[in-house]
Structure 1
């Protein structure tokens, strides 16, 4: 356990930050799942609408450095590719 007042305060702050970051990561995963669900349903229009809506969430979480910007780009790229593949399959 922390011995100094400053260290105790930083420990408290770290717990609060960890909880906040965990909620943002959960929000990211939910956003990705929403697009995947639309893709799996086979409705390309709904998938594109969901993708457009979720891109801003993914970008905002990357801007807050919860995930790396390249990871955000990778997720967006894979979701976009999955949507484009729907048109080729149909």
Structure 2
């Protein structure tokens, strides 16, 4: 025979178990969310590293083009001076 005290205790136990199950579900969801965030952070870091590498390569190419441009400009000046010297004779 179930007494009132037993019924109250069983009800409290059911509520505690239900609360524990809810807490576990929330914890699992939080872990899934954390895992997704961590994955996104890793992806962003990988993208950042790739973009930094591409930027370095682009900067290297820009510097190299600038050097080549200066050399071409120097050669054009030399060629123009040579042409003027020939025409002045």
Query: TM-score, normalization: structure 1?
Result: 0.42
Determine which structure has the larger helix proportion and give its number.
2
Higher RCO (CA-CA < 8 Å; seq separation 6+) = 1
Query: TM-score, normalization: structure 2?
Result: 0.43
Structure label with greater radius of gyration = 2
